Amino acid sequence: MDDADLRELFRLMLVTRRLDEEAIALQRQGVLPAYAPARGQEAAQVGSAAALEKSRDFAFPTYRELGAAIGLGVDPVAYMAMHLNIWHGGLYDPNVARLAPPNAVVGGPVLHAVGWAMGAKLDGTGGAALTYFGDGASSQGDVHEAMNFAAVYRLPVVFFCQNNGWAISLPTADQVAGGSVAARAAGYGIEGHQVDGNDVTAVFEATRAALERGRAGDGPTVIEAMTYRLGPHSTSDDPSRYRSPEEESLRAERDPIDVAATSLSAQEISDAEEHAAAVVRRTTEGLLAMQRPPSDELFSFVYREPTAALLDQHRAWKESQDA
């Protein structure tokens, strides 16, 4: 990675941070119903997403991967429409973005990624899947099944765990037996690595190597990015109820934005701030200008061919609206 690469990754991280701050402000103003902050996880998300080859790879996010969306070039307005509750999963085209719709099911995107990786292996496209999940989600049976299946069939998938220290209010020490998600990979006979999740360069290099192994037919990899959620789990959460100010202050010393900024000049940082501010303004204006879709679209995309029961429900709904 050269200096230009680092500048670009820092720019994407800063856009993510400023959009994240704006999203919280919009939620507090009542514009967004709810939001899951990503502050502190920008390096893990941007660095991993940047390692993908958009011509053939695909990423499967949770509900907290704003940085991955920005790293893959998704229009922020289209992505944030999900949080505005305009459209479930955002208004961007997943096939173009190479980013699946955000998944709010804990551990859910891991299964989807493995299914996609099986398809990629069968059709010989040479692509690899990257799936996100947290340390809390690593306790889900879905994650075990996905890793075991991927290992048995040597699928091209990277299991990217963002260990942010907390499964909502439960610390990792009480959530992950053995203390390491990456160490579990050995039980499946696959690669497993811990990486500094606050160092965007380290994340990028580790993810790129894992994706290359997958594309080469060497099977899946588990990457555990050790990071920290600097904010609340969601805008309805109060982290002061379960962690101390001293802990938060100590962990803020490894803020991924500050870590990356140490390699940049003051002018480069200023330029990145100016760019991020412009993106935030444009995104906020776009979100506020959005119109809600027609209410009966609720029935439009359930099945390719609507069933008799769905048509009856639609008819009953229309009658209730006209009453």
Active site residues: 229, 233, 242
Closest CA to 49 of 143, 150, 162, 146: 162
Q: Are 232 and 242 in contact (CB under 8 A)?
A: no
* 274 exposure class (CB count in 10 Å sphere: 0-12, 13-18, 19+): exposed
Among all chains, which residue has been given the structure tokens 């944030």? 80
Closest CA to 256 of 8, 2, 7, 13: 13
> What are the E-state strand segments in the chain?
58-60, 129-134, 157-163, 166-167, 170-171, 191-196, 221-226
Q: Are 71 and 12 in contact (CB under 8 A)?
A: yes
Q: Are 52 and 59 in contact (CB under 8 A)?
A: yes
